[in-house]
Amino acid sequence: MTEIIRVRTTKHTSVVNITPQVRDAVRRSGVKEGLCIVYVPHTTACVFINEGADPDVVKDITYMVERLIPWSDPNYEHGEGNSAAHIRSAIIGNSRVVPVVNGDLSLGTWEAIFLAEFDGPRERKVIVKILKEE
Ligand code: ZN
């Protein structure tokens, strides 16, 4: 089954914890054992999994991604002016796969699933596909 999660980001760079919505989708699917694919079909957004307990971890990740891939660079060629957002999205990646075990996401204790948008604010969608193990 497939579900679409809609996320409205509020800042130029936003990182949103979408774990509750993904977990709800898994529960609604009724799948007990399988795979959950989380995919964002947007070129300035990405999905990653990391610590959700201490919000400073996401702050530090965001800080360092922005530092490593600066917004302006004299050699960027993309005319829209948002090359940094495309590069950040490309490096982090637009999908993740989480095993479904006993009807739930098998995330670690401190893990959460995040949508990041680097050229917001924007309305974004996340495609969640839940596959049942044969
Ligand atoms: Zn662009």
pTM: 0.97
Contact 65, 88 (CB under 8 A): yes
Query: What pLDDT is attached to residue 81?
Result: 97
Query: What pLDDT is attached to residue 59?
Result: 98
What is the distance in A from the centroid of ligand 1 to the CA of 11? 17
What is the distance in A from the centroid of ligand 1 to the CA of 21? 28
Q: Which residues pair with 74 in a beta bridge?
A: none
Q: Is 29 helix (H, G, I), strand (E, B) or coil?
A: helix
What is the distance in A from the centroid of ligand 1 to the CA of 88? 12
Query: What pLDDT is attached to residue 134?
Result: 85
Query: What pLDDT is attached to residue 67?
Result: 98
What is the distance in A from the centroid of ligand 1 to the CA of 84? 9
Q: For domain 2-132, give the CATH number.
A: 2.60.120.460
Q: Which two tokens stand for residue 5?
A: 């999660």
User: Backbone phi, then psi, for 104, in 5-degree steps?
Assistant: -140, 160
Q: How is 55-124 classified by DSSP, letter by letter?
A: HHHHHHHHHHHHHHS-S--TT---TTS-HHHHHHHHHH-SEEEEEEETTEE---TTEEEEEEESS-S-EE
- Each residue's pLDDT, cut to its tens digit, for the chain (134 residues) gives 999 999 999 999 999 999 999 999 999 999 999 999 999 999 999 999 999 999 999 999 999 999 999 999 999 999 999 999 999 999 999 999 999 999 999 999 999 999 999 999 999 999 999 999 98
